[in-house]
């Protein structure tokens, strides 16, 4: 459906493009050219008329509604994206808090583990010290026992050697100084005591 006013305006613009008018110059010169005129409208009037027709056509074809609808759709999309971003941010904050709590708990667990390990280590060190002292005492007693046994053996050996030497010396002395009359006297004394 064509707009009769728009068709009439287009015909007028075509007609005025072919006609030119000459106007006297205000200073009195001839041939001054001001541009085409049609229906007593100058060039700026026709530009204004064309703009008015263009705006009317835009309104008639509902272009502002289409533009507004597109903008509304974009606004709705942006709002939806903002809502999603807020939700994602809230989820990220929750995750960050959860991991911060896990890190704090892990640090507490690590401190407890370190304390427990130190306690166990001090217990192991104390037991090792006690075991070492007991082993040293046992080895010292064993060494003392060996030394005492060696001393007793040496004393017994010395006694045996001394007895052997004394016995040999006594035998030599008795053999030298003991004769038959001394034997008789000893035998008589032994008999008398019985």
pLDDT > 70 fraction of the chain, expressed in percent and rounded: 78
CB within 8 Å of 50: residues ≥ 6 apart:
9, 13
Average confidence score pLDDT of the chain: 80
Rounded (5°) CA angle 20-25-31: 45
Report the percentage of the chain scoring pLDDT > 90: 38
pLDDT in tens, 117-174: 999 999 999 999 999 999 999 999 999 999 989 988 888 888 888 888 888 887 777 7
Distance of CA 67 to the CA centre of its chain: 52
pLDDT for 34 equals 58
> Distance between CA 35 and CA 17 in Å, rounded?
9
The SS3 assignment for 30 reads coil
Q: What is the pLDDT of residue 8?
A: 52
Which one is predicted more confidently, 134 or 69? 134
Please list, residue by residue across 21-30, b when 16 or more beta carbons sit within 10 angstroms of its beta carbon and e when fewer do. Answer: eeeeeeeeee
Average pLDDT of the residues in 65-90: 90
Q: What is the pLDDT of residue 19?
A: 46
Least confident of 6-20, 38-52, 177-191: 6-20
Inter-residue contact 58 to 64 (CB < 8 Å) = yes
Report if pTM > 0.85: no
CA 37 – CA 41 distance, rounded (Å): 6
The answer to whether 76 and 69 are in contact (CB under 8 A) is no
Cα 76 from Cα 78, distance rounded (Å): 5
Q: Which residues pair with 10 in a beta bridge?
A: none
The backbone torsions φ and ψ at residue 41, rounded to the nearest 5 degrees and listed phi first, read -120, 135
Query: Which pLDDT does position 133 carry in this prediction?
Result: 92
| Residue 126: per-residue pLDDT | 92
Which pair of structure tokens corresponds to residue 48? 């204004």
In this prediction, residues 18-41 reach a mean pLDDT of 53
Q: Which pLDDT band holds residue 38 (cuts at 50, 70, 90)?
A: low
Per-residue model confidence (pLDDT) at position 158: 86
CA distances from 86 to 50, 79, 80, 90, 98 (A): 49, 10, 10, 6, 18
């Amino acid at each position: 459906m064509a707009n009769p006013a728009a068709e009439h305006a287009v015909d007028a613009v075509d007609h005025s493009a072919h006609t030119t008018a000459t106007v006297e110059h205000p200073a009195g010169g001839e041939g001054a050219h001001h541009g085409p005129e049609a229906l007593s409208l100058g060039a700026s009037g026709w530009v204004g008329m064309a703009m008015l027709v263009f705006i009317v056509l835009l309104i008639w074809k509902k272009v502002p509604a289409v533009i507004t609808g597109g903008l509304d759709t974009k606004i709705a999309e942006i709002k939806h994206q903002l809502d999603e971003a807020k939700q994602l941010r809230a989820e990220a904050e929750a995750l960050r808090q959860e991991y911060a709590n896990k890190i704090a708990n892990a640090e507490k667990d690590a401190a407890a583990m370190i304390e427990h390990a130190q306690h166990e280590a001090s217990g192991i060190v104390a037991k090792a010290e006690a075991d070492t002292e007991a082993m040293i005492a046992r080895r010292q007693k064993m060494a003392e026992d060996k030394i005492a046994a060696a001393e007793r053996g040496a004393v017994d050996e010395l006694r045996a050697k001394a007895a052997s030497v004394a016995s040999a010396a006594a035998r030599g002395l008795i053999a030298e100084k003991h004769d038959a009359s001394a034997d008789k006297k000893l035998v008589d004394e032994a008999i008398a005591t019985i």
